[in-house]
Amino acid sequence: MRPVMQPGDRIYVAGHRGLVGNALVRALKADGYTNIITRGSRELDLRDQGAVQDFFEQERPQYVFLAAAKVGGIHANSTRPAEFLYDNLMIAANVIQAAHEIGVTKLLNLGSTCIYPRDAAQPLREDALLTGPLEETNRAYAVAKIAAIELCDQYRAQYGDDFISAMPTNLYGPGDNFDLMGSHVLPALIRKLVDAREENAPTVSVWGSGTPLREFLHVDDLADACLFLMRHVSEPGPINVGTGQDLSIREVADKIKGVVGYSGELAFDASKPDGTPRKITDVSRIHALGWHHRISLEEGLSNTVAWYLAHRGRVRGEAVAVAG
């Protein structure tokens, strides 16, 4: 029987300052874990193999949540693919190798549903991986994510390492990145709609046609799923984490418009990419394991807008105000 995380165990959360990392630290503390190890990228650049090896030898974590990555929305991914490929390959390879070398008890690797083929049958099943071409706008990032899954699975096969991979759908929530050019759709629209309401702007730009469908999972549900998987799953292969419900960008923009209380018009900018037309996850595997999401999109949007309004001017990505 494999050991399960105990309250005093040394737990390293890589990427603790990010959307997911922040939520993981919140969830771990709420569950009574007191020995949580963190490092910001300025203290420990995970692309630097020597620095990562020294850190692991020094801190000797027993559990690792790999939530550090170069992450961005459709614009960042499609305009800086080399950075997304290189950074994410290096981060994953260095952390997974160092975890193996010191004998980490268990590691959970965060992937993304953009690993699946653009034209895969929907909802996306885990066995669709590598069955077709990837979505062009985030192919570089997706290849790095797929490589990380393969590393975890081959370290399990060759060395017996208990390294697992979770594939979250699109995430949102407190602590997100609100940079207008680098962020994902929900934080970008929240910021744009709040600004437009304050400035009484007649229209707000929504990128693309508004027709793509997306699934949105609140980051606190994801953190809950990560603790669940760390405690209960020791199998190779990606495990989807999502709500199993999707809606169009137009519909979600209308929802955010209502939550924010903006009365102007949405203007759809066809010069911006739509990206993949749909990517809803098949969540039957994680449901069968006993986990379900709890936060509805309505509740999640309401608490995220409230969080943003309470932290406005001090959230990640606002420092460089670039109109999107």
Ligand X SMILES: C[C@H]1O[C@H](OP(=O)(O)OP(=O)(O)OC[C@H]2O[C@@H](n3cnc4c(=O)[nH]c(N)nc43)[C@H](O)[C@@H]2O)[C@@H](O)[C@@H](O)C1=O
Binding site for ligand X (CB under 6 A): 71-75, 77, 112, 114, 138, 141, 170, 183-185, 188-189, 206-208, 212, 214, 249, 272-275, 324
| Among ligand NDP, ligand X, none, residue 177 binds (CB under 5-8 Å by kind) | ligand NDP
CA angle at 148 for the pair 143 and 149, rounded to the nearest 5°: 100
Residue number, nearest CB to ligand NDP: 18
Asked if 218 is part of the footprint of ligand NDP (rule: CB under 6 A), the reply reads no
Among 11, 12, 13, 21, binds ligand NDP (CB under 6 A): 21
Tell the smallest beta-carbon distance from residue 1 to ligand NDP (Å).
29
Task: Mark whether 141 is an active-site residue.
Answer: yes
Say which entry of ligand NDP, ligand X, none residue 249 contacts (CB below 5 to 8 A, set by partner kind). ligand X
81 neighbors 103 (Cβ within 8 angstroms):
no
70 binds ligand NDP (CB under 6 A): yes
Check whether 19 is labelled as a binding-site residue. yes
Q: Indicate whether 25 belongs to the interface with ligand NDP (CB under 6 A).
A: no
- Six token digits for residue 34: 């007191």
Beta carbons of 175 and 20 less than 8 angstroms apart: no
Cα–Cα distance measured from residue 251 to residue 126, given in angstroms and rounded to the nearest whole number: 27
Strand intervals (E) in 222-271: 238-241, 247-248, 265-269
Q: Does 40 bind ligand NDP (CB under 6 A)?
A: yes
State yes or no: 111 annotated in a binding site: yes
In whole angstroms, the minimum distance from the beta carbon of 101 to ligand NDP comes to: 18
Binding residue for ligand NDP, selected from 11, 13, 18, 206, defined by CB under 6 A: 18
Output DSSP code: residue 276.
S
Q: Which CB atom, from 23 or from 233, has the smaller least distance to ligand NDP?
A: 23
Residue 205 pairs in a beta bridge with: 267
Angle at 147 between CA 141 and CA 148, to 5 degrees: 95
**CA-based R_g, the chain, Å:** 19
Q: Which residues of 33-51 are buried (b: 16+ CB within 10 A; e: fewer)?
A: beebbbbeeeebbbbeeeb
| Residue 242 interacting partner from ligand NDP, ligand X, none (CB closer than 5 to 8 Å by kind) | none
State how far the alpha carbon of 307 is from the alpha carbons of 132, 153, 162, 263, 315, in Å.
Answer: 39, 38, 36, 21, 10
Cβ 15 vs Cβ 67: under 8 Å:
yes
Minimum gap (Å) between residue 87 Cβ and ligand NDP: 6
Least distance to ligand X from the beta carbon of 207, Å? 3
Residue 119 contact among ligand NDP, ligand X, none, beta carbon within 5 to 8 Å by kind: none
Residue 271 annotated in ligand binding: no
Give me the residues that bind ligand NDP (CB under 6 A), please: 15, 17-21, 40-41, 45-47, 67-71, 87, 91, 110, 112, 168, 170-171, 177, 184
Task: Cite the active site residues.
Answer: 141
